[in-house]
């Protein structure tokens, strides 16, 4: 039996704040990589792919839930990727 990690519910204002801050950090770190000519082809591909996946996930949620969809569930894929990218790029 495996233990599952329980996710905390994040309020919409906090989710938006996380998204904004992580996006700014990700943009700054990626810009630095590009300026230093250290941005790999995989990173360029990731930039495009992650947005397509987040848009598709948000779209599926919108289509499946219709007018009952929450703004938080629509923003979650974008926030999750931005936070993960900022954390990953911080290590480079």
Q: Is residue 2 part of a domain?
A: no
Q: Is residue 68 part of a domain?
A: yes
Tell me the mean pLDDT in the region 40-69.
92
Q: Is residue 74 part of a domain?
A: yes
- Cα(19)–Cα(67) distance, integer angstroms: 23
Q: Is residue 25 part of a domain?
A: no
Q: Which residues contact 79 (CB under 8 A, 6 or more apart)?
A: 10, 15, 18, 19, 22
Q: Is residue 7 part of a domain?
A: no
What's this model's pTM, rounded to 2 decimal places?
A: 0.80
Q: Which residues contact 50 (CB under 8 A, 6 or more apart)?
A: 81, 85
Q: Tell me the per-residue pLDDT of 39-49, one tens digit each, with 9 for 90 and over.
A: 999 999 999 99
Q: Which domain holds residue 59?
A: 32-90
Q: Is residue 60 part of a domain?
A: yes
- How many distinct structural domains can be found in the chain? 1
- Cα(90)–Cα(7) distance, integer angstroms: 23
């Amino acid at each position: 039996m495996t233990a599952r990690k329980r996710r905390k519910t994040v309020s919409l204002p906090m989710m938006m704040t996380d998204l904004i801050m992580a996006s700014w950090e990700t943009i700054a770190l990626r810009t630095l990589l590009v300026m230093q000519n250290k941005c790999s082809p995989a990173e360029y591909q990731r930039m495009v792919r992650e947005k397509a996946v987040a848009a598709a996930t948000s779209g599926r949620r919108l289509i499946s839930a219709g007018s009952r969809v929450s703004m938080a569930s629509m923003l979650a894929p974008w926030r999750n990727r931005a936070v993960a990218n900022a954390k990953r790029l911080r290590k480079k």
